[in-house]
Amino acid sequence: MSKDIKVALVTGGNRGIGFELVKQLALNGFKVILTSRDSEKGYDATQKLKELNLDISFVVMDLDNQESIRQAAITVNEQYGRLDVLINNAGVYLEENKKLVDMDPSILERTMATNFFGAYHVIRSFIPLMEQQGYGRIINVSSEYGAMSEMSYPGVGAYKLSKLALNGLTRLLAAEINGDIKINAVDPRWVSTDMGGPSAPRTPKQAAESILWLSTIGPEGPNGEFFRDGKRINW
Ligand SMILES: NC(=O)c1ccc[n+]([C@@H]2O[C@H](COP(=O)([O-])OP(=O)(O)OC[C@H]3O[C@@H](n4cnc5c(N)ncnc54)[C@H](OP(=O)(O)O)[C@@H]3O)[C@@H](O)[C@H]2O)c1
């Protein structure tokens, strides 16, 4: 592989915003690793994109399973020896329209496990590859629901807390990581996917475009910030 080709990895790349991110990164010249927790779905999604002559490979990674994340990092290290862009996109929305104290606690636990701890373990496992080359761009796909101001309104508690924690992680890691490694969070807005539903006004392509620019920001670019449509938002 040419040294000039940058390698990008997307979690939850088999459908929705993640699938579109994989496609757009490949169209922009990245060698892209599509990851999915399900080998069949991941393989099928990868094949679909390969038919468009895009440079994509597939690695299994389940965010709820630390060993799966560790193995994926080993595979990427062995096969590519580098990682330039990491997009923590995979997420779940398990809400059942109940107050936090009334919901089955497993809803909160499972949501935190994927949306927060999953992203944390992925970053933890892949950051050594970035530190090795002193370069990396990490993007956490968050949500407006993760803004502190959203905590003033009832409902969607598990999802909101998971994204609030993800935003906090983004800022904290930005303060801790050295070198030209930048980590930012993005709200893709309301997007027409399985999670967003058919009424959502934004397409996955529009969402992906609003996320992609953070993959290529220079050394003076933002770090530890939260964006919507390319604009910094308060949280
Ligand atoms: N859609 C919206 O309106 C919207 C708004 C704000 C933020 N977001 C955020 O955008 C991101 C993508 O959402 P989306 O709308 O594309 O959702 P989606 O269509 O439901 O897709 C979710 C993706 O995450 C994967 N995933 C879930 N749990 C996983 C796990 N444990 N390990 C690995 N992969 C896992 C799914 O894999 P499977 O196919 O195996 O289930 C799927 O690929 C999420 O973080 C979401 O919170 C979405």
Which domains, from first to last, does the chain contain? 7-232 (3.40.50.720)
Atom of ligand 1 nearest to the CA of 88: 45
Residues 6+ apart with CB under 8 A from 223: 174, 182, 183, 184
Q: What is the pLDDT of residue 2?
A: 66
Average pLDDT over all residues of the chain: 97
pTM for this predicted structure: 0.98
Atom of ligand 1 nearest to the CA of 194: 19
Residue 1 pLDDT > 70: no
Which tens digit of pLDDT belongs to each residue from 45-85? 999 999 999 999 999 999 999 999 999 999 999 999 999 99
- Long-range contact list for 212-216, CB < 8 A, 24+ apart? 212/21, 212/24, 212/25, 212/28, 214/137, 214/139, 214/182, 214/184, 214/186, 215/8, 215/25, 215/30, 215/85, 215/87, 215/137, 215/139, 216/28, 216/137
Whether residue 17 has its Cβ less than 6 Å from ligand 1? yes
Any idea which of 2-16, 161-175, 184-198 has the lowest mean pLDDT?
2-16
Q: What is the pLDDT of residue 235?
A: 75
Q: Is 153 a catalytic residue?
A: yes
- Could you count the other beta carbons within 10 Å of the beta carbon of residue 107? 18
CA distance 218 to 215: 9
CA distance 84 to 67: 22
> Which residue in this structure is represented by tokens 């959203």?
150
Which tens digit of pLDDT belongs to each residue from 76-109? 999 999 999 999 999 999 999 999 999 999 999 9
In single-letter form, the type of residue at position 121 comes to H
Whether residue 69 has its Cβ less than 6 Å from ligand 1? no
Residue 170 host element (H or E)? helix 157-176
- Could you count the other beta carbons within 10 Å of the beta carbon of residue 3? 6
Report how far ligand 1's centroid is from the alpha carbon of 68 (Å).
Answer: 18
Report how far ligand 1's centroid is from the alpha carbon of 194 (Å).
Answer: 8
Whether residue 192 has its Cβ less than 6 Å from ligand 1? no
